[in-house]
Amino acid sequence: MAAPQRLVICSLAVLLPSPSSTTMTTLVTGGTGFLGRHLVQKLLDRGEDVRVLTRSFDLELADMGAEVVEGSLSEAEDVRRAVDGIERIYHLAGKVERDRSRAHLMYDLHVEGTRRLLGSLVDRNIEKIVYASTSGTVGVGEGPDFLASEDSPTAETIVKNWPYYLSKIYAERVCEKFIGKHDMPIVMMRPTLLLGPGDRKQSSTGDVVLFLKRKIPAQMSGGMSFVDVRDTADAFIAAMDKAPAGESYLLGSQNLPIVDFLKRLEEITGIPRPKMPVPGKAAVMGARLLDRTMRAFGKKAEVDPVSVEMAQYYWYIDSSKAQEELDWQPRSPNETLRDTVRWIQKNHPEFAPKRKRRKPPEEFVPKETVEFAEKMANGE
């Protein structure tokens, strides 16, 4: 009688997973954003169980295979539900605003939201938290010889009137406080301007859209840096796998004067770049005047004055630390620009080719109805 029992026990042992084979769940905040969607897809492709905290249900993320938890970083109970049973966290939730009157929204999300999330993790066994900051916390200078590294001081003096970057500096300090006080395993990632396919909200690729719309009025004197969103997602995953807690990494593929950036877009698209240089102060004053005029008529200028202000500076960074320690190699900058332009032209409502409506089959719709519909469409 004993033998059959042993067979049953052995059979059950084969069917039941061992404790070591249990798949851990990874939390992503900001999973509906430009970087977030790319990161979630890559994590799912790796076979990870992914949970996404989002303000409202996202059907696409659910169809991709992610667990969608509806909630907000401003609500402690929502945060508690989101982190329950989590060991790895990618904290990407962010809001990009140029309007200074909406600064409080960014401080609430970037600073208080980060404080609330980290506070919920103090007594939990967390393997690592990878936090999405920005190169703009340190990587902004006044001349073309400027080049930021991870050890550069924060750029508070320059960004004091740009609430997005200032709130990110304060959010980094929240992270540093939790690292020092609670030994929290946080790695801070500082990407430059994200380009590439998939920016549905134009949170990062808006300047390329403006170029395609021929709305950039003149050459700007500053310099910029950019990086492919797909490579950035790879760097975040590498940081989770390899980076020691407490480290920070700048991520950029190339530093370019803005005039050279526009030249590359001209070569890719065939659209002439603006040739007329405008001195920095004149450009900023002109943008402010246009903005006030448009607001008086209840409209919004396409080129906002804050962006023009920022374009007078040099956002150059050195990302060699990420390349060496994370074994990270960004793709060709021209490939990123081509893919950005191609995606915008295919998906942006002002550029995407309009599909012709197919006529309904006559066997299902009376001929008279089809003729009447055609007359209405032609304005007859």
Q: What is the pLDDT of residue 18?
A: 40
282 phi/psi in degrees, rounded to 5: -65, -40
Q: Computed over its alpha carbons, how large is the radius of gyration of the chain?
A: 25
User: Is the separation of the CB atoms in 212 and 344 below 8 Å?
Assistant: yes
Q: CA 76 to CA 115: how far, in whole Å?
A: 11
The residues near 144 (Cβ < 8 Å, ≥ 6 apart) are 223, 257, 314, 316
DSSP type of residue 335: H
Tens-level pLDDT at each residue, the chain (380 residues): 444 444 333 333 344 444 434 467 899 999 999 999 999 999 999 999 999 999 999 999 999 999 999 999 999 999 999 999 999 999 999 988 877 788 898 999 999 999 999 999 999 999 999 999 999 999 999 999 999 999 999 999 999 999 999 999 999 999 999 999 999 999 999 999 999 999 998 889 999 999 999 988 778 889 999 999 999 999 999 999 999 999 999 999 999 999 999 999 999 999 999 886 665 554 555 444 444 544 555 655 566 666 778 888 999 999 999 999 999 999 999 999 999 999 999 998 888 766 555 655 555 666 667 677 777 766 66
Q: Exposure of 161 by Cβ count < 10 A (0-12 exposed, 13-18 middle, 19+ buried)?
A: exposed
pTM (predicted TM-score): 0.84
Mapping DSSP to helix (H, G, I), strand (E, B) and coil, where does residue 254 land?
strand
Q: What is the pLDDT of residue 295?
A: 56
3-state helix, strand, coil in the chain (%, to 5): 45, 15, 40
Mapping DSSP to helix (H, G, I), strand (E, B) and coil, where does residue 227 land?
strand
296 phi/psi in degrees, rounded to 5: -60, -30
| Listed residue (212, 217, 204) closest to 350, CA to CA | 212
Domains and CATH numbers, the chain: 23-347 (3.40.50.720)
End-to-end CA distance of the chain: 90
| Listed residue (39, 42, 195) closest to 131, CA to CA | 39
| Listed residue (286, 293, 341) closest to 312, CA to CA | 286
